[in-house]
Amino acid sequence: MRILVVEDEKKIAEFIRRGLKEEGYAVDMAHDGEEGLFLAKTNDYDLVLLDLMLPKLDGLTLCKKLKGAKIKTPVIMLTAKNTVKEKVMGLDSGADDYLTKPFAFEELLARIRAMLRKKDARTPTKLKAADLELDLLTHKVIRGSREIELTTKEFSLLEYLMRNEGTIVTRTMISEHVWDIDFDTFTNVIDVYINYLRNKVDSGSKKKLIHTVRGRGYILKEE
């Protein structure tokens, strides 16, 4: 899952970014409204966390512009303003939820999970490919009768591959959806993690699922 955080207070932004990354989300950052609007229009996000008081372009205006551009990405508005009138203004601008600062990070995570469940209400909670099964709720991965222990980043990478089963995904696509926007695609980190997954997912199985397409990227399919 890829989340855009638009927050001008850099300490708060970094706190949110670090916490979300620990939970396995890919996080992009913007510190003013204009940059946030550009990123939201340019990239495909699963969720936007949007501060209300922003330089260059305030959160209400940004949210209205997103909805006006038919961008359906869910928006959770973060703000220190907590009057009923201000909450109504935020929701009327197109925000899907409203969280008042200061907030407990556990509550933010719960709001994010709820929003993503709502967004993907028709999406199964389990992904399957051949005898490989990934549970999005419990984070359990099973191949045949064998349970596979994965790190948070390995799980995110496998989830992305399984969501695109049968389709070649490039290193750039992986970096955008599993790592951050400033991730250096010229490093070999993606190759390293692909090898980690192969050793855990395909090891001991006659049929290999994770394949390299030379010069293009990777594909998860049964052969």
CATH number at residue 98: 3.40.50.2300
User: Span 1-5, mean pLDDT?
Assistant: 88
Q: Enumerate residues 6+ apart whose C-beta is below 8 A from 60.
A: 52, 89, 90, 93
- At residue 218, the pLDDT reads 94
Instruction: Count structural domains, the chain.
Output: 2
**What is the rounded CA–CA span in Å between residue 215 and residue 206?**
25
SS3 state of residue 66: helix
- Based on the fold, state whether residues 35 and 131 are members of the same structural domain: no
- Based on the fold, state whether residues 93 and 135 are members of the same structural domain: no
pLDDT band at 96 (very low <50, low <70, confident <90, very high): confident
- Based on the fold, state whether residues 34 and 80 are members of the same structural domain: yes
- Based on the fold, state whether residues 94 and 134 are members of the same structural domain: no
Residue 70 in tokens: 């038919």
Among residues 119, 141, 176, which one ends one of the domains? 119
- Based on the fold, state whether residues 111 and 28 are members of the same structural domain: yes
Among residues 119, 135, 157, which one ends one of the domains? 119
**What is the rounded CA–CA span in Å between residue 138 and residue 140?**
5
Among residues 95, 119, 143, which one ends one of the domains? 119
Q: Which of 55-59, 147-151, 173-177 has the lowest mean pLDDT?
A: 173-177
- Based on the fold, state whether residues 115 and 138 are members of the same structural domain: no
Indicate the pTM of the whole model: 0.63
Residue 70: give the domain boundaries. 2-119
- Based on the fold, state whether residues 140 and 214 are members of the same structural domain: yes
